[in-house]
């Protein structure tokens, strides 16, 4: 019971550790065999009591190791929190930190049925410039790898990655399927960021960007698969159906829609993170929700698609692939 309502002590401390640079300091060359409390305290610019509280809580949660009084990043932190890691969730954590004031006023958001953060024209919360909408890059890369295992794209030639964000999913798919090309469709500033990630992955020849508003602008032609990864949950059912309608229209006959989403079970009873995702969507978006598989299936069928296939991908957030085909 206590863990249920005191769990935020831990999550908020992890956010502070990331923001204060704990994992960067311990990742630095000079950290070598780890840092003593005094050395870490000096590097963090904190007094002894808060430095010890912060570092020891990170040890207790498995993010740091402590031996003979020296602190080191654990393998978990090195893989998921160091900004040097390709799987770094650092910006994801910082995004949650950015949203924290809104979680502090959650009752107001629930009463208003509206997010309280500054929002963009689509009702999504505004982002700090330095991790503008590519905060999911590390997470989505891993999800993209899983997607590549869950869908057969051997026959596909060119995918449009609708609301493709940092391009992580396209990068993962084109790495797994070396013949494949991808077009990342997203708002111009996000597409610009994606181009940087694509170049870093040395895939600029096969993965390109298409700066566009998916509600108003033309979608790329000549794609046989449209991927919508972690996009539709940001929108109300009506807006999600509008996006699907536009995507289906842009696809040729025989084209395929592939949705990758976090979904709770059909009755929205479990698992906790997937169900609570609906609360996160109230905090973060104007109309988003943890939509369920039956909803996605109904929307795909209403858009005229057939042969719906649902493939759950493992993981605590219960990511699921929902595919369907535009009839010939
Ligand atoms: C939660 S992110 C998912 C990004 C990416 N698919 C991934 O899995 O990492 C949703 C994406 O949809 C994009 N998006 C939202 N509204 C859009 C619009 N009207 N036109 C184009 N892209 C949009 C956002 O910029 C963002 O990159």
Q: Return the best residue to mutate from 186, 211, 277 for the ligand 1 pocket (most ligand atoms within 8 A of CB).
A: 186
Amino acid 99: pLDDT: 87
**Is the pLDDT reported for residue 111 higher than 80?**
yes
Distance between Cα 213 and ligand 1 center (Å): 10
Q: Return the best residue to mutate from 96, 146, 182, 187 for the ligand 1 pocket (most ligand atoms within 8 A of CB).
A: 187
Q: Is residue 170 domain-shared with residue 311, that is, in the same domain?
A: yes
CATH code, 55: 1.10.10.10
Q: What's the Cα-to-Cα distance from 163 to each of 133, 170, 194, rounded to whole Å?
A: 10, 11, 11
The answer to whether residue 87 is domain-embedded is: no
Q: Is residue 186 domain-shared with residue 275, that is, in the same domain?
A: yes
Find out whether the peptide bond into 271 is cis, omega within 30 degrees of 0: yes
Binding-site residues, ligand 1, Cβ < 6 A? 122, 133, 136, 140, 163-166, 168-169, 186-187, 190, 213-215, 229-231, 234
Pairing, β 158-162 against β 64-67: unpaired
Question: Whole-angstrom Cα distance, residue 174 to residue 103?
Answer: 37
Domain boundary among 18, 51, 80: 80
Question: Whole-angstrom Cα distance, residue 277 to residue 298?
Answer: 21
Tens-place pLDDT, residues 194-226: 999 999 999 999 999 999 999 999 999 999 999
Q: Is residue 72 domain-shared with residue 159, that is, in the same domain?
A: no
Q: Is residue 152 domain-shared with residue 64, that is, in the same domain?
A: no
Q: Which atom of ligand 1 is nearest to the CA of 139?
A: 9
Q: Is residue 19 domain-shared with residue 167, that is, in the same domain?
A: no
Residue 74: which pLDDT band, with cuts at 50, 70 and 90? Answer: very high
The answer to whether residue 98 is domain-embedded is: no
Q: How many domains does the chain have?
A: 2
Range of the domain at 211: 131-325
Cα of 243 vs its chain's centroid, Å: 19
Question: Whole-angstrom Cα distance, residue 26 to residue 225?
Answer: 43
Q: Is residue 36 domain-shared with residue 146, that is, in the same domain?
A: no
Q: Is residue 161 domain-shared with residue 255, that is, in the same domain?
A: yes
Domain boundary among 19, 46, 80: 80
**Is the pLDDT reported for residue 120 higher than 80?**
no
Instruction: Name, in order, each residue with C-beta under 8 angstroms of 185's C-beta and a sequence gap of 6 or more.
Output: 160, 161, 162, 163, 164, 191, 209, 210, 212, 214, 219, 220
Residue 119: which pLDDT band, with cuts at 50, 70 and 90? Answer: confident
Q: Is residue 42 domain-shared with residue 159, that is, in the same domain?
A: no
* Assessment of whether the complete model's pTM goes beyond 0.95: no
**Is the pLDDT reported for residue 169 higher than 90?**
yes
Contact 259, 193 (CB under 8 A): no
Three-state secondary-structure class, residue 248: helix
Q: Is residue 161 domain-shared with residue 300, that is, in the same domain?
A: yes
Domain boundary among 47, 80, 113: 80
Of 79-93, 192-206, 228-242, the range with the lowest mean pLDDT is 79-93
Distance between Cα 170 and ligand 1 center (Å): 13
Dihedrals phi, psi of 239, to nearest 5 degrees = -70, -40
Distance between Cα 186 and ligand 1 center (Å): 6
In whole numbers, what is the pLDDT of the chain averaged over residues? 92
Q: Is residue 75 domain-shared with residue 144, that is, in the same domain?
A: no
The answer to whether residue 118 is domain-embedded is: no
The answer to whether residue 319 is domain-embedded is: yes
Q: Is residue 155 domain-shared with residue 294, that is, in the same domain?
A: yes
Amino acid 232: pLDDT: 97
CATH code, 140: 3.40.50.150
Nearest of 154, 176, 166, 155 to residue 196 by alpha carbon: 166
The answer to whether residue 100 is domain-embedded is: no
């Amino acid at each position: 019971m206590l863990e249920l309502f005191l769990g935020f002590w831990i999550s908020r401390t992890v956010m502070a550790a990331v923001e204060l640079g704990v994992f960067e300091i311990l990742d630095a060359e000079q950290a070598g065999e780890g840092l003593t409390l005094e050395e870490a305290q000096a590097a963090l610019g904190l007094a002894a009591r808060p430095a010890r509280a912060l570092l020891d809580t990170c040890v207790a949660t498995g993010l740091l190791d402590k031996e003979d009084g020296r602190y080191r990043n654990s393998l978990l932190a090195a893989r998921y929190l160091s900004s040097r890691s390709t799987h770094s969730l650092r910006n994801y954590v910082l995004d949650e930190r950015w949203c924290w004031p809104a979680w502090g006023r959650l009752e107001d958001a629930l009463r208003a049925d509206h997010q309280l953060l500054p929002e963009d024209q689509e009702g999504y919360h505004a982002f700090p410039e330095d991790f503008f909408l590519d905060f999911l890059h590390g997470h989505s890369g891993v999800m993209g790898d899983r997607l590549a295992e869950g869908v057969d794209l051997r026959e596909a030639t060119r995918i449009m990655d609708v609301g493709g964000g940092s391009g992580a999913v396209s990068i993962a798919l084109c790495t797994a399927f070396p013949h494949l090309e991808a077009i990342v469709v997203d708002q111009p500033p996000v597409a610009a960021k994606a181009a940087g990630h694509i170049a870093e992955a040395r895939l600029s020849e096969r993965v390109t960007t298409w700066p566009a508003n998916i509600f108003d602008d033309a979608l790329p032609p000549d794609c046989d698969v449209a991927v919508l990864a972690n996009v539709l949950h940001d929108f109300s059912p009506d807006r999600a159906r509008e996006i699907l309608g536009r995507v289906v229209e842009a696809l040729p006959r025989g084209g395929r829609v592939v949705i990758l989403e976090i979904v709770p079970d059909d009755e929205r009873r479990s698992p906790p993170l997937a169900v609570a995702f609906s609360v996160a969507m109230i905090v973060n978006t104007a109309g988003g929700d943890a939509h369920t598989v039956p909803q996605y299936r109904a929307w795909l069928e209403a858009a005229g698609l057939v042969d719906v296939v649902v493939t759950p991908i493992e993981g605590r957030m219960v990511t699921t692939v929902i595919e369907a085909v535009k009839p010939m």
